[in-house]
Structure 1
Amino acid sequence: MKLATLRDGTRDGRLVVVSRDLRRAVPAGCRRLQDALDDWEWHVPALREASDALNAGRAPQAFDLDPGRLMAPLPRAYQWLDASGYLNHVELVRRARGADLPPSLYEEPIMYQGAGDTPLGPTDPIEVDDPELWGADFEAEVVVVTADCPQGATREEAARSILLVGLVNDVSLRGLIPHELRKGFGFVHGKPASAFSPVFVTPDELGEAWDGAKLSLPLVVRLNGEVVGRPNAGADLTFDFPALIVHATATRRLSAGTVVGSGTVSNRDRSTGVCCLVERRTVEQLEHGEARTPYLRHGDRVTIEMRDADGRTIFGAIDQQVAPPSRCV
């Protein structure tokens, strides 16, 4: 089952069920994705029935889906928690900043709480005043959406709480992050709004690529049409999604609709490329003594997508351009 949110002039849009090929959609029985998540067991039978009818060509209310009309699947998330599940990424980024690697990094994940109130749709622009000065960067990741999950969750409880899977571009402003971290408290300016894939999908849509804890398929990232990375999201993942959820619930419960990010997908095999520019720049520093790849500039286009073993897009593409802020509220 694939779910998306159609822009309709309201803050939370209108939930739609989407066909497997992402070409057609039908209105869902509940208005918002959060409504479905709040009472998943009640809503999921009707949602699955709508999905089955749509994919079988038996949905009279079906319409052609325009990706440009889509908001983030969950336009206002109660909580957005992003981690660094790939230690190769952590090691490279810390090295780029000249920061130490404490032993605890290898024992438990690092995680931050981001802006869940303003996630971007898949084609919304990355709005940055001065992208070169601020070091604008993309970060391609896998995300999951949880049901209610208790404080101190076990690994089994954490795994059962995963309802949906998707992708995210976790935009980072590398030029601002070191100054914020030196204050000893965390990010605000360095982590603006993230953009989510056109659809989130139930894990059964992923087949053998999903083992209940991680998604083992290449994540393809393009910058201005050029492939810069296609690392496998299941390889070199030190902390999988149940582990991240267990970590997040150590001192709190998670509400239905919590979005948890894997962190930037990163393989130790450098031939697979990168899912963020800071990794490429760090490798360039190591190999050539200086970074040669610039950060994002106005007009640059970032595309993030994952395809199944038969080459079919699973979540649709995050397809964004870097632009000056519109100043719209």
Structure 2
Amino acid sequence: MGANSIDETMFESIATGEDPEAIRSFLESLPPEREHGWELHLTKLIETAPDCRTTLRSILNDEASPESVRFGAFFACCIYHRRQGNVTQFGMLLREYSEFDDHPLFPHLQGLHQSQLSSPGSGQRAIEFAREAAQRVGAHPGVRHSLAIAIVEHLEQETPASSQALLEEAHENVTTAIERIEYPRYFDTLGRILTHQGKYDDARANIHKAIDLEDEAKEDYAIRIGMYRSHEFRVILEEHAADISNEQQTIRNQQRELDEKVSGAVAQLEHASEQSEERMREIQTQTLQFMAFFATMLAVIVSSITVTTRFPVPDAAALILVLTGGLLAAFGGFTIVLPIDRVRTKAAALFGMGTLIAGAGIGVILTL
């Protein structure tokens, strides 16, 4: 029979969970396992008749029942324990009835169980199981959504380095689910994904749509709305954190620019200081040279006047040559300690010139 064969009358007949035949008939009337309606009807069975677990376990353990009926009972029991948060019993069921592992939706249940463990590595395992289920059933909305939400919860808990690629995978899968059926939880998951992608306005819009679509008649309505509001609050926190991060980045950029300007100014000051010191050394050198030159000229003039007044002209001229040459030679020796260009060449030239002039004067004296 198809999905449309299960109506509200049948759900009302099994509401007490005390009629095994009604529940068995319900399981036999389910659409094919690969259709989304199969999972939806079993979920509604648990919502409508939560006390039918005993009957479901008896059907599950009845080897004479068709395997499709037994697997439906098994799936409904797993859904019950998942909704109740009975993680240990959920895991025990999966291990006890691993004979169903070839069913398309068995890895779907394994992924749902791993997502509840919150232990190291469970998030990655939940994603891997959900991917396997998606490969088995194709565009099944429930499976696609489970893969998307496994990725989101994994990112929120562990934040792996490849988050961008995972977010794109989650976005693609939840979008595929929404294209098949507009279920409130799907829009909430899409909102969580968009939050991680920094699209805060779109995230809020999808979470609000999930709130609008939620059925007020469901017993867990308040819980679901509370969950959606918590996700909306996270959008606000993430948006404020992003604003603060942007402001901090702006401050860091401004600080970097200021540091670069200060470094440039310091470099310019250091360069100017070096140039000033070099200029001061040049001025000092020139001053020393002028002082030495004028001192030499003064000595020559004074000595010349003294010699001229005491000796005959020939002797005075010879003595003046000797004196001038000696002073030039001495000035050449002094020049070698000055910090000037080509100092050795200039000092040697002055010393040589002074020696020649002094030698000429001595020569004149010897001839007289």
After TM superposition, the score normalised by the length of structure 1 is 0.21
After TM superposition, the score normalised by the length of structure 2 is 0.20
Greater percentage in strand = 1
Larger RCO: 1 or 2 (CA < 8 Å, sep 6+): 1
Larger radius of gyration: 2
